[in-house]
Structure 1
Amino acid sequence: MKTAAMTALLFVAAVSAQAHVATLENFTAKPILADLKDLQALNIPVVAKEESSQVGYAVVTPQMQQRLQEYAHANGKCGGFEDVSQDMQGTTLVSEGFSKMLSNLAELKQKNDLYERAPFRALVAQQNPALTAAIDEISVTNMQETVNWLSSFPTRYNKASQPNIHVEEMKKRLEAMLATSKIPYEVSLIDHTSTKQKSVRVRLTGSQRPNEIVVLGGHLDSINMSWGGGDKAPGADDNASGSSNIYEALRIVSQKAQPQRTVDFFWYAGEESGLLGSAEIAKTYKAQKADVVAVLQLDMTLFPGSGELVIGSMNDFTSSWLRDYLKANNETYIKARIVDDKCGYGCSDHASWYRQGYPTLMPFESKMNDSNSNIHTARDLVTKDSNFNHSVAYTKIALLFAMDLANSTARQPF
């Protein structure tokens, strides 16, 4: 068994052996939240920590950030940290800023733990004929076409010279697809202050409770973190796959009856550089006191590393209630084997929403240790190891959120 120290030592040796091609970012230092064990393994000074959630607050240099990104990549994670620069702006005392963030995480962890210890918390799924029919409409061909299209862009990196080419093309595709929908909808690009790349949002307005929002999302950007790998970042699995699940679910839902709750579909910017797009969006929703009932994050769904139809359900920085909701509906709709796992803080965009107090769910393509080793390289392509029948399960989960949860009064009980 590898210890964290052994993994860090092997990682440092690998970095020393080969020169990295990525250009360091141009900043002096920035505040981040990251997995405490990752920070400690890399000897990055931890300013403050929250033990129960294993989250550390640090101020990193460009070199430290790059080491953290590379370490996260070596351990099969995506972003690996959350840039919290915006949260710290305007803070009179720096210590008050990070203390509040960490104490909020501790409180959320405590609430989830109390729920998990409740004697009666089993949820019972109700058969939904409309959802069953919608699941039958999922097209593997459509999903594969979307993944192939997105991975045909040389890169979707948020720091590329033209970071929005694929974003603008996605918006055009969405507008064309939704042209025949009878549901009130809005397609918009969201500007960010932390990155020049834009996020995409489609809003289907709810018919009865439009102020209650169900969020479905995945990141649209890609990155190449390989040594000597050049700039090509097709990102087929990471994360054209999750983007295609969201896209296919929207295609189906847009032709159905208007949901009772509003459903927001997101394709986020800059996840690989610190959850940039989702962090700003989640913070804005919180500031507006948006009633977000649930958030689904789909990030990598194409590589069945733990076996076909084995879903890794991340149980850190996610809602115990939504994990129960997934398990309750699994036998009826998904028909997969769900295994609990952890990915550490900042592994994907659900962390942004979780930190703002919203219930999140992060079903992953496998257990973390079994995930696709080709991510963040030019080799992240559709190959013989890609399994779209496996990926269909995640489109089913997206439909479950958009057609079952969005048509119910269910919400997290804590």
Structure 2
Amino acid sequence: MKPSVLSSVCFFVLATHGFGFCQSSVQAQHTAQFRFDFSDIADDQFENHQSVPGFELNLDAIRLVQFNLDEDAVWMTERQKLHAKAMGMKYLDITDAPSNFGRLFEKQHFSYPPPNSSLVKPIFPLLSIEEMKTNLKYFSSFRTRYYNSESGRASSEWLLQKIRNYTAELATPEQKAIISVEPFHHGWKQASVIIRIAPKGSTSDPITVLGAHCDSINKKNPYLPAPGADDDGSGTVTILEAYRALLKSKYTPTTPLEFHFYSAEEGGGLGSQEIVAAYEAEGKEIKGMQQYDMTAWVASGSKEVVNIITTGVDTELTEFLTLLVGRYLDIPWVKEQQAKGTGSDHLLWTRAGYQACHAFEGLAVNANNENIHTRQDRIDASHEFSFSHMRQFAKLAVAFAVELSS
């Protein structure tokens, strides 16, 4: 029997709290500083046994990893990070985070009046389940979207081109004048993608951000197939469809609006961490950020809901999210406090002092745990994979975008 997550790991703490750390003094002593106390994962499990081409992965690379927002980070190897992923553990990899991450300036705090825009509901009929099916079918056809693989690179290039095609085909001249679609390159193969909609004269205004991560991983071995349909192809396609509908509606925000597709979330929030650090270095203010990480699964026998996460988020923005669901969606919201272990990309915004929130596809007990991070995470894995549920989240994305940027 596999031991529980909490009891299966023991380590020695070698780093200071949070993102203020000194790397060089302990790096040479790394190898024995983190070990797992279980025997059902072989030492060579994460090797490229079939010599699959197109990967760059150094299993002995030394990383500084944080498993709990309230605890110290620990040094470990990339191989040990993959062990943790296989055990279902969540973490942030803060090896390359600036030592002053989140402390460059005091962030502005925003309040959120009850939603009341007349612009939101007329956009909903433009949201297409068939368009989402087509996009997710293709996006999950890449062998894997692992961030240090050629197929991971190709998947982000396809996403970038898809967004540029939508913009070229659907945007009005007025919209095109204020939209940019660009890759955000990292030190690994897969790029993040950022859509910026910045009305003239608004460059110093606070930004509304909708985010999803575009990578995937097979927890048994990163070289194995990982279609990532639910985690997180569903989130990617959800906010992509919201962007397409906004273009078709000819919506133009009055304050900056951005859509972020983050690389390397499965590596510990690496892509979003670099983007947040860059935004903070530029002194950018964020009006609100919402993460879309898994939006498709409705477990048999469960009630269809939007699960609004209360851990690692801003309280006021989270309350605003419940009001959006109540006003604009056809299904109810529930709130759930997750374990304190770190989770998705919104946490990097939270750690930097920005206001962020997160809504999930359902209660944790009903989550798609059997399929995610495996070759079975496909759109045809089960009738429980629901594009109509994804459409509810696309409506939420439209509402969040319009209410905060108009």
TM-score (norm 1): 0.78
Determine helix, strand or coil for the equivalent of 2:45. coil
Q: Which residue of 1 aligns with 2:130?
A: 141
The equivalent position to 1:57 in structure 2, one of 59, 63, 73, is 73
Residues 185-236 of structure 1, C-alpha deviation per residue, up to 9 Å, x if partnerless?
111011113x222111111113563432111111111111137x96111000
Q: Which residue of 2 aligns with 1:410?
A: none
How far, CA to CA, are the matches of 1:319 and 1:359 in structure 2? 5
Distance change (3 Å), C-alpha of 1:295 and 1:387: same
Q: Which residue of 2 aligns with 1:311?
A: 306
- Which residue identity is paired with 1:214? T
How far, CA to CA, are the matches of 2:259 and 2:343 in structure 1? 20
Q: Which residue of 2 aligns with 1:231?
A: 224
Question: Equivalences for 1:398-409 in 2 at 5 Å?
Answer: 398-407=397-406
Q: Which residue of 2 aligns with 1:43?
A: none
Q: Which residue of 2 aligns with 1:165?
A: 154
How far, CA to CA, are the matches of 1:3 and 1:269 in structure 2? 29
CA contact (8 A) 2:5 2:88 kept: no
CA contact (8 A) 1:275 1:346 kept: no
Comparing 12-21 with 130-139, greater Cα deviation is found at: 12-21
Q: Which residue of 2 aligns with 1:177?
A: 166
Q: Kindly state the Cα deviation for residue 137 of structure 1 after the two structures are TM-superposed.
A: 2.1
How far, CA to CA, are the matches of 1:328 and 1:299 in structure 2? 20
Comparing 150-159 with 19-28, greater Cα deviation is found at: 19-28
How far, CA to CA, are the matches of 2:127 and 2:8 in structure 1? 40
Q: Which residue of 2 aligns with 1:150?
A: 139
Comparing 236-245 with 181-190, greater Cα deviation is found at: 181-190
Q: Which residue of 1 aligns with 2:82?
A: 66
CA contact (8 A) 1:55 1:345 kept: no
How large is the Cα RMSD of the aligned pairs?
Answer: 3.0
The equivalent position to 1:20 in structure 2, one of 27, 42, 45, is 45
Distance change (3 Å), C-alpha of 1:161 and 1:230: closer
Q: Kindly state the Cα deviation for residue 22 of structure 1 after the two structures are TM-superposed.
A: 4.9
- Which residue identity is paired with 1:202? I
Question: Equivalences for 1:3-402 in 2 at 5 Å?
Answer: 5=6, 15-16=40-41, 20-22=45-47, 25-35=58-68, 53-72=69-88, 80-87=90-97, 97=99, 125-179=114-168, 180-182=170-172, 183=175, 184-193=178-187, 195-206=188-199, 209-210=202-203, 211-226=205-220, 231-255=224-248, 256-305=250-299, 307-335=302-330, 336-373=332-369, 374-383=371-380, 384-402=383-401
Count of aligned pairs between the two proteins = 357
CA contact (8 A) 1:197 1:269 kept: yes
How far, CA to CA, are the matches of 2:223 and 2:77 in structure 1? 23
How far, CA to CA, are the matches of 2:362 and 2:43 in structure 1? 29
- Which residue identity is paired with 2:64? P
How far, CA to CA, are the matches of 2:214 and 2:5 in structure 1? 30
How far, CA to CA, are the matches of 2:202 and 2:302 in structure 1? 39
How far, CA to CA, are the matches of 1:22 and 1:297 in structure 2? 32
- Which residue identity is paired with 1:303? W
Distance change (3 Å), C-alpha of 1:281 and 1:126: closer
Comparing 62-71 with 317-326, greater Cα deviation is found at: 62-71
Greater helix share, 1 or 2?
A: 1
CA contact (8 A) 1:314 1:343 kept: no
Determine helix, strand or coil for the equivalent of 1:297. strand
CA contact (8 A) 2:291 2:358 kept: yes
Q: Kindly state the Cα deviation for residue 257 of structure 1 after the two structures are TM-superposed.
A: 2.7
TM-score (norm 2): 0.79
Distance change (3 Å), C-alpha of 1:124 and 1:356: closer
Q: Kindly state the Cα deviation for residue 369 of structure 1 after the two structures are TM-superposed.
A: 3.3
Gaps of 5+ in 1: 36-52, 74-79, 89-96, 116-120, 408-414
How far, CA to CA, are the matches of 1:84 and 1:16 in structure 2? 25
CA contact (8 A) 2:140 2:228 kept: yes
Identical aligned pairs, as a percentage? Answer: 25
Residues 225-260 of structure 1, C-alpha deviation per residue, up to 9 Å, x if partnerless?
137x96111000011100011100000112323101
Determine helix, strand or coil for the equivalent of 1:130. coil
Determine helix, strand or coil for the equivalent of 1:362. strand
